[in-house]
Structure 1
Amino acid sequence: MIEIKDISKTFGDRQVLAGISGSFKPGDTSLIIGGSGTGKSVLLKCMIGLIKPDSGEVLYDGRNFLTGDLEEQKTIRREMGVLFQGSALFDSKTVLENVRFPLDMLTEQSESEKVDRAKECLRRVGLEGAGDRMPSEISGGMKKRVGIARAIVLNPKYLFCDEPNSGLDPLTSIKIDQLISEITDEYKITTVVITHDMNSMMEIGEKIMFLYKGKKLWEGDSNTITQSDVAELNEFIYANKLLREMEK
């Protein structure tokens, strides 16, 4: 389980996060949603250690990630898998080399063990046989799958996905959502997804946190999100639906 308690962050005179609290359970696909500039990506970066919040706590199964010693922080980081926006693949490495990169950096496994594990993860995301291809030779949807394979190669307890559907067509987006949800359920990972995609909210939102101007205004799931009486959330949903209609 991941718990965040009273997370606040200010850049200059602008408060980006104002006392955000919540919890994320193993086996659930939890979403953090909101428009551009609402603080959701900053919150994610606080959770994974890329940004240090001004105040608050981030607990991984009871371990305080912000105040733990260096060794404990390293241990927690090894338990994380991250799918970055845009996939963030190395252009000079093959698909297989991209997936095995965390193994090269963080483990002392043998060459054959690392190759076997990377191939296993590629099979899991439906890219068996694509290991020798370069990132420039595959589609955007395939790059996302490679990113997911790399994110799970270390058997993480916690999976973070930053806008996994960014730049994808609606059909490919649905497939990526389904893959993330399946992997979360299969391995009982604690998964946190940053998104503004309405399809994701309705299809895989087992828990949804809505941020607006750095504050948490609503929390629920895909069954209750359309019944909210929060005006800002309803406006966000309406704008999302309108955008989808325009894309058709």
Structure 2
Amino acid sequence: MIEIKDIHKAFNGRDILMGINGTFKPGDTSLIIGGSGTGKSVLLKSMIGIVKPEKGQILYDGRDFHNSDEETRKTIRREMGVLFQGGALFDSKTVLENVKFPLDMLTDMSEKEKIDRAEFCLKRVELDNAGGRMPSEISGGMKKRVGIARAIVMNPKYLFCDEPNSGLDPLTSVKIDDLIKEITDEFNITTIVITHDMNSVIGIGEKIMFLYKGKKLWEGDSNNIRTSTVPELNEFIFANKLLQEMRG
């Protein structure tokens, strides 16, 4: 379980996050939504340790991430899996080598054990025949699946996905959403997805947090978001539906 308590963050005197609170449970696919500049990416960076909040706590199963000793922080980081927005694959490494990379860096497993684990994760995302290919030889949707395989290769307790559907067509986006949901359920991971895609919100949003100008304005799930009485959230939903219809 991840708990965020009264998180504040500012850059150059400008408040980006103002008193954010929330709880994210194992086995739930939790979404953080909002328009550009609302603070959702800064919140994600705070949660994975790229930036440090000026105030507040981020607790991983009761462990205060930013206010613990270095050994505890390292332990928590090893329990995280991250799917970056652009995939962040190494162009010079094969698909298998990309997935295996965290094991090379962070474990003392034998080479055979690392290869077996990487191949297992590739099979789980239905890419068991792609291990020898280079990132330049696969599609955008396949790159996202490789990114998911790499994110789960360390068997994480916590999975963070930053705009996993960015740049994908609607059908591929649904497949990526379904895969994230399946993996979350299968391994009982605490999963947090940063997105602005309303299809993802309706499809897999078991818990949804809406940020607006650095504040949490609404929290709920995919069933009750349609009946929201928060004007800013309704405007966000309408704008996204309109954009999808124009693209569509």
Q: Do both share a fold (TM > 0.5)?
A: yes
Structure 2 residue aligned with 1:100: 100
Shift in Å, 1:13: 2.2
Alignment of 1:64-143 (within 5 A): 64-143=64-143
Shift in Å, 1:14: 1.1
The two structures have a TM-score, normalised by structure 2, of 1.00
SS at match of 2:211: strand
Counterpart CA distance in 2 for 1:135 and 1:247 is 27
The two structures have a TM-score, normalised by structure 1, of 1.00
Gap regions ≥5 residues in structure 2: none
Counterpart CA distance in 1 for 2:205 and 2:198 is 10
Counterpart CA distance in 2 for 1:218 and 1:34 is 10
1:125 maps to a residue whose letter is V
2:236 maps to a residue whose letter is F
Shift in Å, 1:247: 1.1
Q: Which runs of structure 1 show a deviation greater than 6 angstroms over 4 or more consecutive aligned residues? A: none
Structure 2 residue aligned with 1:161: 161
Gap regions ≥5 residues in structure 1: none
Alignment of 1:230-245 (within 5 A): 230-245=230-245
Counterpart CA distance in 2 for 1:142 and 1:12 is 39
SS at match of 2:21: strand
Counterpart CA distance in 2 for 1:121 and 1:16 is 36
Structure 1 residue aligned with 2:17: 17
Counterpart CA distance in 2 for 1:226 and 1:235 is 12
Aligned CA-pair RMSD:
0.4
2:210 maps to a residue whose letter is F
1:92-127 C-alpha deviation (Å, 9 max, x unpaired): 000000000000000000000000000000000010
SS at match of 2:73: helix
Counterpart CA distance in 2 for 1:12 and 1:128 is 47
Counterpart CA distance in 2 for 1:190 and 1:112 is 29
Counterpart CA distance in 2 for 1:141 and 1:129 is 15
Shift in Å, 1:136: 0.3
2:76 maps to a residue whose letter is I
1:62-99 C-alpha deviation (Å, 9 max, x unpaired): 00001110000000000000000010000000000000
Structure 2 residue aligned with 1:198: 198
